[in-house]
A and B are shown apart, each in its own frame.
Chain A
Amino acid sequence: MSAPAFRDDQPTSESAPTPDAVLELRGLRKSFGDQEVLRGIDLTVHTHEVIAVIGASGSGKSTLLKTVNLLEGIDDGQILLRGSDISDPRVDVDATRARIGVVFQQFNLFPHMTVLNNVTLASRRVHGIDRAAAEATAQTLLDRIGLGTFAGAYPDRLSGGQQQRVAIARAIASDPELLLLDEVTSALDPQLVGEVLDLVTELKEGGSTILMTTHEMHFARNVADRIVFLHKGEVVEQGAPAEVLDAPQHPALIEFLSRAAH
Protein backbone atom coordinates (compact mmCIF):
# COMPACT_ATOMS: atom_id res chain seq x y z
CA MET A 1 0.00 0.00 0.00
CA SER A 2 2.06 2.88 -1.29
CA ALA A 3 1.18 6.49 -0.59
CA PRO A 4 -1.12 7.98 -3.22
CA ALA A 5 1.23 10.88 -3.83
CA PHE A 6 -0.10 13.70 -5.92
CA ARG A 7 2.40 15.27 -8.37
CA ASP A 8 5.05 12.95 -7.04
CA ASP A 9 7.98 13.54 -9.33
CA GLN A 10 10.31 11.31 -7.29
CA PRO A 11 11.07 7.81 -8.48
CA THR A 12 10.15 5.37 -5.73
CA SER A 13 11.63 2.25 -7.21
CA GLU A 14 13.87 -0.23 -5.43
CA SER A 15 16.60 0.49 -7.95
CA ALA A 16 19.92 2.33 -7.74
CA PRO A 17 20.09 5.45 -5.57
CA THR A 18 19.26 8.79 -7.14
CA PRO A 19 22.61 10.41 -8.09
CA ASP A 20 22.57 13.75 -6.24
CA ALA A 21 20.34 12.54 -3.40
CA VAL A 22 21.59 13.21 0.11
CA LEU A 23 18.73 11.28 1.64
CA GLU A 24 16.40 8.76 0.14
CA LEU A 25 13.56 7.15 2.05
CA ARG A 26 11.97 4.09 0.50
CA GLY A 27 8.76 2.60 1.83
CA LEU A 28 9.56 3.65 5.38
CA ARG A 29 7.28 2.10 7.99
CA LYS A 30 7.16 2.59 11.71
CA SER A 31 4.70 1.49 14.36
CA PHE A 32 4.39 2.21 18.04
CA GLY A 33 2.61 -0.85 19.40
CA ASP A 34 -0.27 -1.44 17.02
CA GLN A 35 -0.41 2.20 15.95
CA GLU A 36 1.23 2.60 12.54
CA VAL A 37 2.77 6.05 12.59
CA LEU A 38 4.65 5.98 9.27
CA ARG A 39 2.89 4.04 6.52
CA GLY A 40 5.37 3.66 3.71
CA ILE A 41 7.12 6.98 3.24
CA ASP A 42 8.98 7.62 -0.03
CA LEU A 43 10.98 10.82 -0.07
CA THR A 44 14.16 12.09 -1.65
CA VAL A 45 16.18 15.07 -0.47
CA HIS A 46 18.69 16.36 -3.01
CA THR A 47 21.92 18.23 -2.35
CA HIS A 48 21.28 21.87 -1.30
CA GLU A 49 17.58 21.19 -1.18
CA VAL A 50 15.38 22.48 1.65
CA ILE A 51 12.30 20.42 2.30
CA ALA A 52 9.55 21.41 4.69
CA VAL A 53 7.35 18.65 6.05
CA ILE A 54 3.97 19.93 7.16
CA GLY A 55 1.05 18.11 8.66
CA ALA A 56 -1.30 18.01 11.62
CA SER A 57 -0.03 17.28 15.09
CA GLY A 58 0.42 13.52 15.44
CA SER A 59 0.81 12.93 11.71
CA GLY A 60 4.28 11.46 12.27
CA LYS A 61 6.57 14.39 11.39
CA SER A 62 8.83 14.11 14.42
CA THR A 63 8.93 10.35 14.15
CA LEU A 64 10.01 10.67 10.53
CA LEU A 65 12.97 12.86 11.47
CA LYS A 66 13.91 10.60 14.36
CA THR A 67 14.00 7.53 12.16
CA VAL A 68 16.28 9.36 9.71
CA ASN A 69 18.71 10.08 12.53
CA LEU A 70 18.36 6.49 13.78
CA LEU A 71 16.96 7.69 17.09
CA GLU A 72 13.97 5.46 16.31
CA GLY A 73 14.24 2.10 14.64
CA ILE A 74 12.06 1.35 11.63
CA ASP A 75 9.83 -1.63 10.93
CA ASP A 76 10.27 -1.74 7.18
CA GLY A 77 11.76 0.13 4.26
CA GLN A 78 15.13 1.71 3.67
CA ILE A 79 16.95 4.91 4.55
CA LEU A 80 19.75 5.79 2.16
CA LEU A 81 22.25 8.46 3.16
CA ARG A 82 24.34 9.39 0.12
CA GLY A 83 23.38 6.08 -1.38
CA SER A 84 24.35 3.80 1.48
CA ASP A 85 21.68 2.06 3.49
CA ILE A 86 21.88 3.38 7.04
CA SER A 87 18.87 1.35 8.16
CA ASP A 88 21.03 -1.77 7.83
CA PRO A 89 21.60 -3.15 11.34
CA ARG A 90 25.30 -3.62 10.55
CA VAL A 91 25.80 0.10 10.11
CA ASP A 92 27.72 2.12 12.75
CA VAL A 93 24.89 4.07 14.31
CA ASP A 94 27.04 6.66 16.09
CA ALA A 95 29.17 7.36 13.04
CA THR A 96 26.02 7.78 10.96
CA ARG A 97 24.40 10.16 13.42
CA ALA A 98 27.56 12.21 13.41
CA ARG A 99 26.97 12.89 9.70
CA ILE A 100 23.51 14.32 10.36
CA GLY A 101 22.75 17.45 12.37
CA VAL A 102 19.55 17.60 14.38
CA VAL A 103 17.75 20.39 16.20
CA PHE A 104 14.66 19.59 18.20
CA GLN A 105 11.68 21.64 19.19
CA GLN A 106 12.86 21.98 22.78
CA PHE A 107 16.21 23.70 23.04
CA ASN A 108 18.06 20.84 24.64
CA LEU A 109 21.41 22.43 25.05
CA PHE A 110 23.52 20.83 27.74
CA PRO A 111 22.91 23.09 30.75
CA HIS A 112 26.15 22.13 32.50
CA MET A 113 28.35 23.22 29.60
CA THR A 114 29.15 26.66 28.29
CA VAL A 115 27.83 27.68 24.89
CA LEU A 116 31.28 27.07 23.40
CA ASN A 117 31.52 23.57 24.90
CA ASN A 118 28.04 22.75 23.67
CA VAL A 119 29.04 23.71 20.16
CA THR A 120 32.42 21.94 20.22
CA LEU A 121 31.32 18.75 21.99
CA ALA A 122 30.79 16.66 18.87
CA SER A 123 33.92 17.97 17.17
CA ARG A 124 36.06 17.09 20.16
CA ARG A 125 34.41 13.89 21.34
CA VAL A 126 33.10 12.36 18.14
CA HIS A 127 35.29 13.69 15.35
CA GLY A 128 38.48 13.81 17.42
CA ILE A 129 39.39 17.39 16.53
CA ASP A 130 41.68 18.97 19.11
CA ARG A 131 40.21 21.54 21.42
CA ALA A 132 41.97 24.60 20.06
CA ALA A 133 40.93 23.92 16.47
CA ALA A 134 37.37 23.00 17.46
CA GLU A 135 37.03 26.15 19.54
CA ALA A 136 38.37 28.37 16.80
CA THR A 137 35.84 26.97 14.35
CA ALA A 138 33.03 27.24 16.88
CA GLN A 139 33.93 30.79 17.79
CA THR A 140 33.84 31.81 14.13
CA LEU A 141 30.47 30.14 13.78
CA LEU A 142 29.09 31.85 16.89
CA ASP A 143 30.43 35.22 15.72
CA ARG A 144 28.72 34.71 12.40
CA ILE A 145 25.34 34.10 14.00
CA GLY A 146 25.80 37.03 16.36
CA LEU A 147 26.36 35.03 19.53
CA GLY A 148 30.13 35.35 19.78
CA THR A 149 29.97 37.19 23.08
CA PHE A 150 28.03 34.34 24.67
CA ALA A 151 30.71 31.72 24.06
CA GLY A 152 31.62 31.50 27.75
CA ALA A 153 28.06 31.77 29.06
CA TYR A 154 25.88 28.92 30.28
CA PRO A 155 22.65 28.29 28.35
CA ASP A 156 20.39 29.49 31.16
CA ARG A 157 21.71 33.01 30.62
CA LEU A 158 20.36 33.02 27.05
CA SER A 159 16.91 33.78 25.73
CA GLY A 160 14.95 30.99 24.06
CA GLY A 161 15.76 32.32 20.62
CA GLN A 162 19.45 32.54 21.42
CA GLN A 163 19.42 29.04 22.86
CA GLN A 164 17.81 27.69 19.75
CA ARG A 165 20.38 29.43 17.57
CA VAL A 166 23.13 27.86 19.66
CA ALA A 167 21.41 24.50 19.21
CA ILE A 168 21.53 25.06 15.46
CA ALA A 169 25.19 26.08 15.69
CA ARG A 170 25.87 22.88 17.64
CA ALA A 171 24.13 20.84 14.95
CA ILE A 172 26.09 22.38 12.07
CA ALA A 173 29.45 22.75 13.84
CA SER A 174 30.88 19.63 12.27
CA ASP A 175 29.51 20.22 8.78
CA PRO A 176 26.75 17.60 8.62
CA GLU A 177 25.69 16.34 5.21
CA LEU A 178 22.07 16.76 6.22
CA LEU A 179 20.36 18.99 8.75
CA LEU A 180 17.12 17.92 10.40
CA LEU A 181 15.07 20.65 12.06
CA ASP A 182 12.01 19.61 14.04
CA GLU A 183 9.67 22.52 14.78
CA VAL A 184 12.58 24.65 15.87
CA THR A 185 10.41 27.67 16.57
CA SER A 186 7.31 26.16 18.12
CA ALA A 187 8.54 26.43 21.72
CA LEU A 188 9.55 30.07 21.27
CA ASP A 189 7.77 33.28 22.19
CA PRO A 190 6.45 34.86 18.98
CA GLN A 191 8.92 37.77 19.06
CA LEU A 192 11.85 35.33 19.13
CA VAL A 193 10.77 33.23 16.17
CA GLY A 194 12.17 35.65 13.57
CA GLU A 195 15.83 35.43 14.60
CA VAL A 196 15.76 31.63 14.40
CA LEU A 197 14.02 31.57 11.02
CA ASP A 198 16.52 34.14 9.71
CA LEU A 199 19.33 31.81 10.68
CA VAL A 200 17.70 28.90 8.87
CA THR A 201 17.32 31.10 5.81
CA GLU A 202 21.02 31.93 6.02
CA LEU A 203 21.88 28.24 6.19
CA LYS A 204 19.86 27.61 3.06
CA GLU A 205 21.72 30.40 1.30
CA GLY A 206 24.96 28.83 2.50
CA GLY A 207 24.00 25.65 0.66
CA SER A 208 22.89 23.40 3.54
CA THR A 209 20.67 20.44 2.78
CA ILE A 210 17.76 20.64 5.17
CA LEU A 211 14.80 18.44 6.02
CA MET A 212 12.58 20.27 8.45
CA THR A 213 9.15 20.18 9.97
CA THR A 214 7.39 23.44 10.64
CA HIS A 215 4.03 24.95 11.22
CA GLU A 216 5.19 28.37 10.04
CA MET A 217 3.50 28.24 6.62
CA HIS A 218 4.80 31.63 5.63
CA PHE A 219 8.34 30.55 6.38
CA ALA A 220 7.90 27.24 4.57
CA ARG A 221 6.71 29.09 1.51
CA ASN A 222 9.71 31.44 1.51
CA VAL A 223 12.49 29.03 2.32
CA ALA A 224 11.49 25.54 1.22
CA ASP A 225 12.23 24.27 -2.27
CA ARG A 226 9.59 21.64 -1.76
CA ILE A 227 6.79 21.12 0.70
CA VAL A 228 5.73 17.65 1.75
CA PHE A 229 2.35 17.15 3.36
CA LEU A 230 2.20 14.26 5.78
CA HIS A 231 -1.22 12.90 6.64
CA LYS A 232 -1.69 9.96 9.01
CA GLY A 233 1.80 8.70 8.31
CA GLU A 234 1.63 9.03 4.53
CA VAL A 235 2.98 11.60 2.11
CA VAL A 236 -0.27 12.51 0.38
CA GLU A 237 0.96 15.55 -1.48
CA GLN A 238 4.23 17.26 -2.27
CA GLY A 239 5.62 19.87 -4.61
CA ALA A 240 6.81 23.45 -4.91
CA PRO A 241 5.45 25.72 -2.13
CA ALA A 242 3.26 27.68 -4.50
CA GLU A 243 1.62 24.53 -5.85
CA VAL A 244 1.09 22.84 -2.49
CA LEU A 245 0.02 25.90 -0.53
CA ASP A 246 -1.96 27.75 -3.18
CA ALA A 247 -3.50 24.90 -5.13
CA PRO A 248 -3.88 22.01 -2.72
CA GLN A 249 -5.47 18.90 -4.20
CA HIS A 250 -5.90 16.39 -1.39
CA PRO A 251 -8.94 17.06 0.84
CA ALA A 252 -6.88 16.58 4.01
CA LEU A 253 -4.38 19.21 2.84
CA ILE A 254 -7.14 21.63 1.96
CA GLU A 255 -8.60 21.22 5.41
CA PHE A 256 -5.19 21.47 7.08
CA LEU A 257 -4.36 24.69 5.26
CA SER A 258 -7.70 26.26 6.04
CA ARG A 259 -7.09 25.56 9.72
CA ALA A 260 -3.51 26.83 9.59
CA ALA A 261 -4.72 30.10 8.05
CA HIS A 262 -6.76 30.89 11.15
Chain B
Amino acid sequence: MTAAVGAPSELEVERRLYRRQRGRRSLIASIASTVVVVAIVYFGVVNTPGWASVQQSFFDPKTAADSFPSILLGLWLNVRILFFAAIGVAVFGTLLAVVRGLQNPVFFPLRMLATGYTDLFRGLPLIIVLYLVGFGIPGLGVFPRLPYAVLGTVAIILTYSSYIAEVLRAGMEAVHPSQRLAARSLGLTHAKTLRLVVLPQALRKVTPALMNDFVSMQKDVGLVSILGAIDAVRSAQIASQETYNFTPYVVAGLLFVVISLPLIRVTDAIARRQQRREQIGGAV
Protein backbone atom coordinates (compact mmCIF):
# COMPACT_ATOMS: atom_id res chain seq x y z
CA MET B 1 0.00 0.00 0.00
CA THR B 2 1.61 3.23 -1.12
CA ALA B 3 1.08 6.41 0.82
CA ALA B 4 -1.16 8.53 -1.44
CA VAL B 5 -1.10 12.30 -1.14
CA GLY B 6 -3.26 13.34 1.82
CA ALA B 7 -3.43 9.80 3.21
CA PRO B 8 -2.50 9.55 6.89
CA SER B 9 1.00 8.38 7.70
CA GLU B 10 1.58 4.94 9.20
CA LEU B 11 2.18 6.54 12.54
CA GLU B 12 -1.17 8.33 12.40
CA VAL B 13 -2.97 5.13 11.27
CA GLU B 14 -1.57 3.32 14.25
CA ARG B 15 -2.61 6.15 16.59
CA ARG B 16 -6.16 6.15 15.24
CA LEU B 17 -6.41 2.41 15.70
CA TYR B 18 -5.28 2.75 19.28
CA ARG B 19 -7.74 5.58 19.96
CA ARG B 20 -10.58 3.54 18.48
CA GLN B 21 -9.74 0.53 20.64
CA ARG B 22 -9.45 2.65 23.74
CA GLY B 23 -12.79 4.31 22.94
CA ARG B 24 -14.48 0.93 22.52
CA ARG B 25 -13.11 -0.35 25.82
CA SER B 26 -14.39 2.75 27.68
CA LEU B 27 -17.84 2.43 26.10
CA ILE B 28 -18.14 -1.24 27.13
CA ALA B 29 -17.09 -0.38 30.67
CA SER B 30 -19.63 2.41 30.95
CA ILE B 31 -22.50 0.30 29.55
CA ALA B 32 -21.65 -2.53 31.92
CA SER B 33 -21.55 -0.31 35.00
CA THR B 34 -24.85 1.37 34.06
CA VAL B 35 -26.59 -2.02 33.64
CA VAL B 36 -25.24 -3.21 36.99
CA VAL B 37 -26.43 -0.10 38.87
CA VAL B 38 -29.90 -0.19 37.31
CA ALA B 39 -30.21 -3.93 37.98
CA ILE B 40 -29.20 -3.57 41.62
CA VAL B 41 -31.71 -0.79 42.23
CA TYR B 42 -34.48 -2.60 40.36
CA PHE B 43 -34.06 -5.96 42.05
CA GLY B 44 -33.43 -4.28 45.36
CA VAL B 45 -36.75 -2.47 45.21
CA VAL B 46 -38.76 -5.30 43.67
CA ASN B 47 -37.60 -7.75 46.32
CA THR B 48 -38.48 -5.57 49.28
CA PRO B 49 -41.18 -7.10 51.46
CA GLY B 50 -43.66 -4.28 50.75
CA TRP B 51 -43.13 -4.02 46.97
CA ALA B 52 -46.36 -5.78 46.01
CA SER B 53 -48.54 -3.38 47.98
CA VAL B 54 -46.55 -0.33 46.87
CA GLN B 55 -46.94 -1.39 43.25
CA GLN B 56 -50.64 -1.79 43.90
CA SER B 57 -51.14 1.67 45.39
CA PHE B 58 -48.66 3.73 43.28
CA PHE B 59 -48.44 2.02 39.91
CA ASP B 60 -51.92 0.70 39.24
CA PRO B 61 -52.60 0.84 35.48
CA LYS B 62 -56.37 1.01 35.78
CA THR B 63 -56.34 3.88 38.24
CA ALA B 64 -53.81 5.64 36.05
CA ALA B 65 -55.99 5.35 32.98
CA ASP B 66 -59.15 6.43 34.82
CA SER B 67 -57.58 9.50 36.41
CA PHE B 68 -55.60 10.56 33.35
CA PRO B 69 -58.27 12.74 31.63
CA SER B 70 -59.08 14.85 34.67
CA ILE B 71 -55.40 15.29 35.51
CA LEU B 72 -54.63 16.32 31.95
CA LEU B 73 -57.45 18.86 32.14
CA GLY B 74 -55.92 20.15 35.37
CA LEU B 75 -52.55 20.37 33.70
CA TRP B 76 -54.04 22.71 31.13
CA LEU B 77 -54.68 25.14 34.00
CA ASN B 78 -51.03 24.79 35.08
CA VAL B 79 -49.91 25.55 31.56
CA ARG B 80 -52.05 28.67 31.40
CA ILE B 81 -50.81 29.82 34.81
CA LEU B 82 -47.27 29.20 33.65
CA PHE B 83 -47.85 31.25 30.52
CA PHE B 84 -49.16 34.31 32.34
CA ALA B 85 -46.70 33.94 35.20
CA ALA B 86 -43.79 33.85 32.75
CA ILE B 87 -44.95 37.09 31.13
CA GLY B 88 -45.52 38.72 34.51
CA VAL B 89 -42.13 37.60 35.81
CA ALA B 90 -40.36 38.82 32.68
CA VAL B 91 -41.89 42.27 33.02
CA PHE B 92 -41.72 42.69 36.79
CA GLY B 93 -38.34 40.98 37.17
CA THR B 94 -36.78 43.21 34.50
CA LEU B 95 -38.28 46.29 36.11
CA LEU B 96 -36.81 45.32 39.49
CA ALA B 97 -33.41 44.61 37.97
CA VAL B 98 -33.36 47.93 36.13
CA VAL B 99 -34.39 49.87 39.23
CA ARG B 100 -31.70 48.14 41.29
CA GLY B 101 -29.16 49.08 38.66
CA LEU B 102 -30.02 52.81 38.59
CA GLN B 103 -26.91 54.73 39.48
CA ASN B 104 -28.20 58.27 39.86
CA PRO B 105 -28.39 59.19 43.57
CA VAL B 106 -31.87 60.68 43.11
CA PHE B 107 -33.18 57.14 42.66
CA PHE B 108 -31.80 56.01 46.02
CA PRO B 109 -35.23 55.52 47.69
CA LEU B 110 -36.57 53.59 44.71
CA ARG B 111 -33.46 51.45 44.63
CA MET B 112 -33.75 50.67 48.33
CA LEU B 113 -37.37 49.68 47.83
CA ALA B 114 -36.43 47.27 45.03
CA THR B 115 -33.57 45.87 47.10
CA GLY B 116 -35.83 45.36 50.10
CA TYR B 117 -38.40 43.69 47.89
CA THR B 118 -36.00 41.20 46.34
CA ASP B 119 -34.45 40.40 49.72
CA LEU B 120 -37.88 39.76 51.21
CA PHE B 121 -39.32 37.64 48.43
CA ARG B 122 -36.21 35.59 47.86
CA GLY B 123 -36.35 34.62 51.50
CA LEU B 124 -40.08 33.90 51.75
CA PRO B 125 -41.10 30.32 50.93
CA LEU B 126 -43.44 30.32 47.93
CA ILE B 127 -46.03 28.36 49.87
CA ILE B 128 -46.29 31.17 52.42
CA VAL B 129 -46.61 33.80 49.69
CA LEU B 130 -49.37 31.66 48.19
CA TYR B 131 -51.27 31.64 51.48
CA LEU B 132 -50.72 35.36 52.07
CA VAL B 133 -51.83 36.35 48.58
CA GLY B 134 -54.46 33.66 48.16
CA PHE B 135 -56.26 34.38 51.40
CA GLY B 136 -55.02 37.88 52.18
CA ILE B 137 -55.99 39.71 48.99
CA PRO B 138 -59.60 38.48 48.94
CA GLY B 139 -59.74 39.53 52.61
CA LEU B 140 -59.07 43.13 51.58
CA GLY B 141 -62.49 43.11 50.00
CA VAL B 142 -61.40 45.00 46.92
CA PHE B 143 -61.32 42.01 44.56
CA PRO B 144 -63.50 39.56 46.46
CA ARG B 145 -64.21 37.15 43.61
CA LEU B 146 -60.79 36.62 42.05
CA PRO B 147 -60.30 32.97 41.09
CA TYR B 148 -57.65 31.12 43.09
CA ALA B 149 -55.77 30.38 39.89
CA VAL B 150 -55.31 34.14 39.35
CA LEU B 151 -54.22 34.72 42.94
CA GLY B 152 -51.82 31.80 42.65
CA THR B 153 -50.38 33.31 39.48
CA VAL B 154 -49.84 36.60 41.30
CA ALA B 155 -48.03 34.83 44.14
CA ILE B 156 -45.76 33.03 41.68
CA ILE B 157 -45.01 36.28 39.86
CA LEU B 158 -44.18 38.06 43.13
CA THR B 159 -41.78 35.32 44.19
CA TYR B 160 -40.11 34.46 40.93
CA SER B 161 -39.64 38.08 39.89
CA SER B 162 -37.27 38.50 42.80
CA TYR B 163 -35.14 35.56 41.64
CA ILE B 164 -35.17 36.66 38.04
CA ALA B 165 -34.32 40.24 39.01
CA GLU B 166 -31.19 39.03 40.78
CA VAL B 167 -30.12 36.90 37.84
CA LEU B 168 -30.72 39.78 35.42
CA ARG B 169 -28.89 42.25 37.62
CA ALA B 170 -25.87 39.99 37.71
CA GLY B 171 -26.05 39.78 33.93
CA MET B 172 -26.28 43.56 33.59
CA GLU B 173 -23.28 44.01 35.83
CA ALA B 174 -21.36 41.55 33.70
CA VAL B 175 -21.81 43.77 30.64
CA HIS B 176 -18.62 45.80 30.40
CA PRO B 177 -19.04 49.49 31.34
CA SER B 178 -17.42 50.49 28.06
CA GLN B 179 -20.52 49.18 26.30
CA ARG B 180 -22.68 51.74 28.10
CA LEU B 181 -20.11 54.40 27.40
CA ALA B 182 -20.08 53.55 23.70
CA ALA B 183 -23.87 53.65 23.56
CA ARG B 184 -24.14 56.94 25.43
CA SER B 185 -21.44 58.48 23.26
CA LEU B 186 -23.65 57.82 20.23
CA GLY B 187 -26.34 59.92 21.86
CA LEU B 188 -28.56 57.05 23.01
CA THR B 189 -30.58 57.91 26.11
CA HIS B 190 -30.16 55.97 29.33
CA ALA B 191 -33.34 54.02 28.63
CA LYS B 192 -32.39 53.14 25.05
CA THR B 193 -28.90 52.16 26.19
CA LEU B 194 -30.47 49.73 28.63
CA ARG B 195 -32.98 48.37 26.18
CA LEU B 196 -30.80 48.10 23.07
CA VAL B 197 -27.33 47.48 24.44
CA VAL B 198 -27.20 46.38 28.08
CA LEU B 199 -30.24 44.13 28.48
CA PRO B 200 -29.78 42.08 25.29
CA GLN B 201 -26.20 41.30 26.28
CA ALA B 202 -27.15 40.64 29.89
CA LEU B 203 -29.86 38.22 28.76
CA ARG B 204 -27.40 36.26 26.65
CA LYS B 205 -25.03 35.98 29.57
CA VAL B 206 -27.63 34.60 31.95
CA THR B 207 -29.83 32.56 29.63
CA PRO B 208 -28.95 29.21 31.26
CA ALA B 209 -29.70 30.56 34.74
CA LEU B 210 -33.01 32.06 33.55
CA MET B 211 -34.02 28.81 31.92
CA ASN B 212 -33.26 26.92 35.12
CA ASP B 213 -35.50 29.27 37.04
CA PHE B 214 -38.18 28.78 34.41
CA VAL B 215 -38.00 25.00 34.74
CA SER B 216 -38.31 25.36 38.48
CA MET B 217 -41.29 27.67 38.04
CA GLN B 218 -42.85 25.10 35.74
CA LYS B 219 -43.00 22.70 38.69
CA ASP B 220 -43.98 25.28 41.25
CA VAL B 221 -47.17 26.20 39.39
CA GLY B 222 -48.40 22.90 40.87
CA LEU B 223 -48.46 24.59 44.27
CA VAL B 224 -51.52 26.66 43.34
CA SER B 225 -53.40 23.47 44.24
CA ILE B 226 -53.02 24.36 47.91
CA LEU B 227 -55.38 27.29 47.33
CA GLY B 228 -57.93 24.91 45.87
CA ALA B 229 -57.48 25.73 42.18
CA ILE B 230 -58.29 22.59 40.22
CA ASP B 231 -54.96 22.03 38.53
CA ALA B 232 -53.16 18.76 37.80
CA VAL B 233 -52.06 18.24 41.39
CA ARG B 234 -55.49 19.02 42.83
CA SER B 235 -57.14 16.75 40.24
CA ALA B 236 -54.75 13.99 41.22
CA GLN B 237 -55.59 14.58 44.86
CA ILE B 238 -59.31 14.29 44.14
CA ALA B 239 -58.82 11.12 42.10
CA SER B 240 -56.61 9.70 44.79
CA GLN B 241 -59.18 10.29 47.49
CA GLU B 242 -61.88 8.65 45.38
CA THR B 243 -59.85 5.52 44.67
CA TYR B 244 -57.81 5.25 47.88
CA ASN B 245 -54.79 4.95 45.58
CA PHE B 246 -51.70 7.12 45.05
CA THR B 247 -51.31 6.34 41.36
CA PRO B 248 -52.90 9.66 40.24
CA TYR B 249 -50.04 11.54 41.91
CA VAL B 250 -47.54 9.52 39.93
CA VAL B 251 -49.50 10.32 36.76
CA ALA B 252 -49.47 14.04 37.57
CA GLY B 253 -45.77 13.89 38.41
CA LEU B 254 -44.92 12.22 35.13
CA LEU B 255 -46.96 14.80 33.22
CA PHE B 256 -45.00 17.61 34.86
CA VAL B 257 -41.77 15.87 33.88
CA VAL B 258 -42.99 15.49 30.32
CA ILE B 259 -43.81 19.18 29.88
CA SER B 260 -40.50 20.26 31.39
CA LEU B 261 -38.31 17.87 29.37
CA PRO B 262 -38.14 19.89 26.15
CA LEU B 263 -37.06 22.99 28.00
CA ILE B 264 -34.49 21.12 30.06
CA ARG B 265 -32.95 19.80 26.83
CA VAL B 266 -32.98 23.27 25.26
CA THR B 267 -31.35 24.73 28.39
CA ASP B 268 -28.59 22.16 28.25
CA ALA B 269 -28.02 22.82 24.57
CA ILE B 270 -27.81 26.58 25.09
CA ALA B 271 -25.43 26.20 28.01
CA ARG B 272 -23.22 23.89 25.95
CA ARG B 273 -23.21 26.22 22.97
CA GLN B 274 -22.33 29.17 25.17
CA GLN B 275 -19.52 27.22 26.80
CA ARG B 276 -18.15 26.31 23.38
CA ARG B 277 -18.32 29.91 22.21
CA GLU B 278 -16.50 31.09 25.31
CA GLN B 279 -13.81 28.50 24.76
CA ILE B 280 -13.24 29.74 21.23
CA GLY B 281 -12.90 33.19 22.72
CA GLY B 282 -12.95 36.39 20.77
CA ALA B 283 -11.96 39.97 20.89
CA VAL B 284 -15.12 41.03 22.63
What residues make up the interface of A, taking CB atoms closer than 8 Å to B? 69, 71, 94-100, 102, 104, 106-112, 121-122, 125-126, 155-156, 158, 160, 163, 170-171
Contacts and interface: CB of A to CB of B under 8 A. Distances in A.
B184 A97 contact: yes
Nearest to B201: A112
B188 A126 contact: yes
Contacts of B258: none
A104 B179 CA distance: 11
Given A109-B284, A111-B284, A156-B282, A97 B201 contact: no
A104 B186 contact: no
B139 to A, nearest CB: 46
A48 B189 CA distance: 29
B108 to A, nearest CB: 19
B185 A102 contact: yes
Interface stretch (B114-122, B152-160, B192-200, B207-215): B192-200
A104 B187 contact: no
B176 to A, nearest CB: 7
B184 A71 contact: yes
A91 to B, nearest CB: 13
A152 to B, nearest CB: 17
A71 B282 CA distance: 27
A163 B2 CA distance: 48
Nearest to A105: B178
Contacts of B80: none
Nearest to B190: A94
B186 A122 contact: yes
6 contacts: A97-B184, A100-B185, A104-B181, A110-B197, A111-B201, A125-B196
Which among B179, B182, B187 has the greatest number of chain A C-beta atoms within 10 A? B187
B182 A125 contact: no
Contacts of A102: 182, 185
Given A122-B186, A126-B192, 17 more contacts: A94-B187, A95-B187, A97-B185, A98-B187, A99-B187, A102-B185, A107-B284, A110-B182, A110-B183, A111-B284, A112-B201, A122-B187, A122-B188, A125-B192, A126-B188, A158-B283, A170-B186
B142 to A, nearest CB: 41
A170 B187 CA distance: 12
A156 B204 CA distance: 15
Contacts of A160: 283
B283 to A, nearest CB: 6
Contacts of A126: 186-188, 192
Contacts of B184: 71, 94, 97
B197 A155 contact: no
A106 B283 CA distance: 10
Contact of A121 (B176, B196, B204): B196
Contacts of B179: 108, 110
A3 to B, nearest CB: 27
A96 B204 CA distance: 31
A38 B282 CA distance: 35
Nearest to B182: A108
A256 B73 CA distance: 80
Contact of A97 (B187, B196, B197): B187
A65 B90 CA distance: 39
Contact of B176 (A108, A122, A125, A156): A108
A164 to B, nearest CB: 10
Given A104-B178, A112-B201, A121 B282 contact: no
A98 to B, nearest CB: 3
A112 B200 contact: yes
A68 B183 CA distance: 16
Contact of B181 (A71, A94, A112, A156): A71
A44 B282 CA distance: 39
A163 B178 contact: no
Given A108-B176, A109-B284, A112-B204, A121 B181 contact: no
B284 A97 contact: no
Contacts of A106: 178
Contacts of B192: 125-126
A111 B181 CA distance: 14
A99 B186 CA distance: 8
Contacts of A163: 283
B284 A94 contact: no
A156 B284 contact: yes
A95 B192 CA distance: 13
Nearest to A170: B186
A104 B182 contact: yes
Contacts of A112: 200-201, 204
Contacts of A158: 283
Contacts of B189: 94
B185 to A, nearest CB: 4
A125 B188 contact: yes
A106 B180 CA distance: 13
